[in-house]
Chain A
Amino acid sequence: GENVEQHPSTLSVQEGDSAVIKCTYSDSASNYFPWYKQELGKRPQLIIDIRSNVGEKKDQRIAVTLNKTAKHFSLHITETQPEDSAVYFCAARTSNSGYALNFGKGTSLLVTP
């Protein structure tokens, strides 16, 4: 089955700096890669996603890049703010898995003022 690796597990940045979180996946049939932000005790919230036929996608301060050949994708947050502090999960989905998501282990991001 699909195996998603995520790094780093914790990340601390100063307000205004950029944050980058990286993920790799194992199944070349994976075709959809969402990123979720989860605050303590709450449901995951989709912040950005990318399909396998696209290499990069941007939404204001957030961007995702995908390298299908290397099977890795990254989340980039620019001009970080304290409210960006949360746990971020990457995920990958394949049709082989019935369209279920396989999640990375998460990155705890702390943005200090």
Chain B
Amino acid sequence: GAVVSQHPSRVICKSGTSVKIECRSLDFQATTMFWYRQFPKQSLMLMATSNEGSKATYEQGVEKDKFLINHASLTLSTLTVTSAHPEDSSFYICSASPVGYNEQFFGPGTRLTVL
């Protein structure tokens, strides 16, 4: 089956620092990856669609200058939370689908805690 990995699984950082999260498709190529954010006891909210070789598409209300997305290859997308603040503390999950698949495969998620 298709496997998506994320790194790191957990990160704790100080307010004002930047954090980079990697999302990799391990056994398939993904021209599109999706980034979601999930606050405790809430649903997954789509943040942005990451497109290989072009700019990401951000959802309304998501600051593109704060959440930088780079999809540099067909197997890697990165999300950088710049100048993180405590309110950015959340569970960040990426997903991707192999070509021809309906199912989206999710990464294991990254728990970000900003002190």
Chain A contact residues, CB within 8 Å of chain B = 32, 34, 41-44, 46, 49, 51, 89, 93, 98-106
Contact = CB atoms under 8 A, between A and B. Distances in A.
B102 A49 contact: yes
A42 B46 contact: no
B57 interface: yes
Interface centre among A42, A49, A100, A101 (most CB of B within 10 A): A100
Contacts, number: 47
Interface in B19-78: 32, 34, 42-46, 49, 57
B43 A49 contact: no
Interface centre among B46, B97, B104 (most CB of A within 10 A): B104
B7 interface: no
B106 A44 contact: yes
Contact of A101 (B91, B104, B107): B104
Interface size class of B (residues with CB under 8 A): 20 to 34
Contact of B103 (A34, A42, A104): A34
B109 A42 contact: yes
Contacts of B95: 101
A104 B44 CA distance: 8
A100 B95 CA distance: 9
Interface in B75-112: 91, 93, 95, 97, 102-104, 106-109, 111
